[in-house]
Every structure is written in structure tokens, then in C-alpha cells.
Amino acid sequence: MGGSYVTLEGTQVPLGRLTAEERRFLGHMVSQFKRGGSYLDFENAYMDPQSAVFRHARRLGRPVEETPLYRVCDDLARRLGIRQGYLVKEEVVRYPEPPAGERRELTTGEVAKLAACTHEAVRKAIRTGRLRARRVGHLSLIWEQDAEAFAESRRTRARSDKERRHA
């Protein structure tokens, strides 16, 4: 267990100030992760209020979610959950906002909100080829620019339908 740990998001978590007990606990959790134990059992082990994670937070006087031990255990749990199919990486990994000009992908739910329509309307647009998407597990991901064009076309169609009704 070196001086730091790198999360799925690329964040460095410093481990230099862990006590011997905390290092043993983390070593046990890493072993459990490598063995591929159950995601739910793994999560229950570090989220137990009696675990070293909560003692570590009390020792540091910080909220549990802000402690290095929790952050590493939580990241290992996410990796295990993704590997075992409980979680979808694109839904649980919080990446920083992309720089201006970089492409970003949205889920069908995000596109539905943007276009003020239902999830099913978005899925239908994907099935019929009106909206491009790529599949990642059970998710359909749509480029933000395509989603904005889809939303604008829905607004334009709604305006022209309204004008025809009032004409």
C-alpha cells in the first residue's frame, strides 16, 4: 500500500497518514476486492458503523465521505460493482465537466428532460434513427450536440403543430 491511491476518476487519495490498524483494514479490503467477493458484502463491510472507516473519520474529525479510507473503499466497491454488473460506470463515476468544445454524452433520461419529452419518446427516436446513440451495457448514450438538435427539432415541430391548429 504505497503513498497514494488513484480512483476511477483519476483523483489521487493520499494514504500516508493511515494508522497501522487502518492500513490492515485497507489491506483486508483490497484482498477481498482482488478475490472478487460479493459487491454487496464488500460494501456492507466498510459501511458498518463499527468498521475502521468510521473510526478513521472520528479520529480525523471529518465526515466519513471526506476521509481517505472511505474514498478508497468506496472506489474499490464501485469497481467491484461495475465488474459484477451491479453498477454502470457511466452512471457512478463523476468526471469533471469537459473543457469547452469537448464532446459530452447524455443518458436517455437527460435527453428527455432537455427535450421536454418522455424516456420512451427518446428511445423511439433512437430506434427509428432520428437520434444517434451508442449502447454501454443497458444505457444508451447520446452526444450532447445530437441531444440539443433533437430537442430543438421537437420544439420546432411543436410550434408548427400549434400554428397549424390556430390557422
pLDDT digits (tens, 9 = 90+) for 68-112: 999 999 999 999 998 998 888 777 776 555 555 666 889 999 999
Rounded CA-CA distance 114/131 in Å is: 14
Query: φ, ψ for residue 77 (rounded to 5)?
Result: -65, -40
What total number of domains does the chain contain?
Answer: 2
Residue 98 included in any domain: no
20-68: pLDDT as tens digits: 999 999 999 999 999 998 999 999 999 999 999 999 999 999 999 999 9
Examine the domain organization and report whether 72 and 130 are in the same domain.
no
Examine the domain organization and report whether 27 and 79 are in the same domain.
yes
Residue 72 included in any domain: yes
Examine the domain organization and report whether 118 and 39 are in the same domain.
no
Query: φ, ψ for residue 105 (rounded to 5)?
Result: -110, 145
Residue 100 included in any domain: no
Examine the domain organization and report whether 88 and 10 are in the same domain.
yes
Residues 80, 63 contacting (CB under 8 angstroms): no
Examine the domain organization and report whether 43 and 82 are in the same domain.
yes
The boundaries of the domain holding residue 122 are 105-166
